[in-house]
Amino acid sequence: MFPSAVVGIASLLTVAGAAAPALGASGAYDAAAGQACRLADNAIYTPGLSATAGSAPAWTTLASTMQVLASGTDDPRLATAFGGIVTTATGVATAIQAGSGTSAARAAYDTSVATVWGACTQLTITKQKVAVKKFTKFTYEMGAVVGPPPLAAKAGSLAVNGMVLQTVSAAKKANRGSCLGGAKSCGYFVQTLTQDPCVDGLVCVRQQWGLLAVGANSSEGVVDTMAIDASTGTAAKLSQFVPASAQKAFLASVNAALGKQLKKEGLGGDPVWKAKLTMKDITAWLPEPDGMHLWFDKYAVAPGYLGVVSVVVPLPVAS
């Protein structure tokens, strides 16, 4: 997933020290955290390190710099991420000094850099409200992925907004004809974006939306998700977390979790809503620190009155 050498990583970013807003400990934008991220970005991408990737002193200097940043930040997530650079950069220096192969040490370093990118990246959300014919209300949210590296942030933003605009387009098309029951208004469309906690190196984005027809008691509940690789801006695939060898155990966990929820709602043993999913049924998922979160649209696995159903199961493999 990540480049295998410092020179490879550095080539992904052409502008050192680019602005890198971060989420502070409170979960909101934190200027101090943003400054710490910019300093870390500068340290990781110093031209000297790129030119002397095989120099043990360069790696030792990087470790020392990141140790200062790790000790000086009040954001525990950033402190952990910066501390990872300290450990892995020291490991590369040690491997160089010992004259042993550095591939494994540099791969670990690349992973720790991705962790910094994940910790320093946020999804900024802007609400859109537009007038759409036959709708009483039509609102949705667009997102911008902000943080290093810039090219990855741009790619991530395009991916998120591509998902949003596809949903918006589908909602508009859904009511081009006559409204339900001849009503003058087809009702409401409301969509929201959320940045969920994520495993290291990823930005987890969740979109939830619904169409509510005039006179209806509930909306169509739909959830779409996207786990974005903070190093490239591309969407991660489920197979990265659930390889073929783990699919059987993973599905067993998912079906067991769903069965437990159905039983809690008094639907245990109901043949109509028996939990028996396949991998093709897993479409909305996010690898979060406490496990793999999965969402199932209204009516997909349970009666409509339960709305969107969500379960959490253990991550089958390390992220």
| CATH no. for 238-313 | 3.90.640
Which distant-in-sequence residues (6+ apart) come within 8 Å of 114 by Cβ? 1, 2, 200, 201, 229, 230, 231
pLDDT at 311: 94
With bands split at pLDDT 50, 70 and 90, how would you rate the model's confidence at 28? very low
Between 312 and 34, name the one with better pLDDT: 312
Q: Is the model more confident about 28 or about 18?
A: 28
pLDDT tens for each residue of 208-249: 998 776 655 555 689 999 999 988 899 999 999 999 999 999
Please provide the CATH number assigned to the domain covering 122-229. Answer: 3.30.565.40
Could you tell me the residue ranges of all domains in the chain?
6-119, 122-229, 238-313
Q: What is the pTM of this model?
A: 0.76
